[in-house]
Structure 1
């Protein structure tokens, strides 16, 4: 540990597993006081032994709950938005309900948290926001990822808009665009695809392997720290060469 986030307070969504969990743990290891949230309380409970200061159940699709949580937590220096869902299929497979759910969880959740936490960041002179987007939709089209790609493109645009609006007020906002990352949800999708599902996911990565959640967390740590003080409004691609 090198205390890169010493003295800072971080709020993380979708922290019970995958990228959100890896980010919460990386922040804590580097000295931040981390408040981790998720709807999975069982997963959250396992973070207590990883140096996470506080945990709480939070449904980021509930505007009132997000506002109440922000009021409870108070000022944070770092907001990491990791909540998301991968819908499989083309436009023909996407019902209105699928479309609305994907945008609500993948995009509007970030609108809710940023709107709730930003005022106190501004009052205190600044803060950094890191949103998890995807290489799919932002840099490249992916088959059978119609609404997912649309939501992640929206996250990149949302990120740039927040960065532009508050660049002179001490606020930085960036997003991370991963390729295929080995997480519990990704492994679940691979298993559902059949016996060769995992091999198919690996085969589309030019490096011949899946990315690791810890590799995404390393970039998130940089963006959350003062080391990236001159960086805002950027969609950072970390995809193992998928978009080459």
Structure 2
């Protein structure tokens, strides 16, 4: 039990409901769902069981992407956020750079949460319900950013994530299915000068890089580690 989480419950949940909330927390229910929101990149993001809880690691994905857009002089980049969930990535980008963002997810419930988050953060985002496999009709984008489901179906379900939507966590092909599909679709929908930014599982770096090199042989590919020294981010830069 985390005393900091208990303090959050006492701070944000009305007194008459605190005892029940603490009981649920002790049984493994995420404090973020109990409170109903999290901070992501300085923005308030509503969360419930319909969306994955944003992780602090993903803030680095956003930060790195913003730096790359500045480094390579992208102006008002058309951006595609694949598997948007709560919309936290799209909102963070819109808040920090002038860009056009299309955010897609297969879950209608997740998109409803994302739309609320865009509204409370006062940003305009084009939300679309669509499967990753159906992206050929989207037109050209300068940026694709995604933190897709990347936990292998073969792995045991982590008790800490049992309340989160499993379709936002688990994937086929040792967890790399969505990277392969996104990269294959990206060939048809990316502008010549473009960036693909991925968050990956800590054992998937070599597999995803191999896919990227096969499909984008002329691209610069960067892999970065998270604060725990795990390979966590891949950036594919087409100049």
TM-score (norm 2): 0.49
Higher relative contact order (CA 8 A, sep 6+): 1
TM-score (norm 1): 0.48
- Identify the structure with the greater strand proportion: 2
User: Radius of gyration: which is bigger?
Assistant: 2
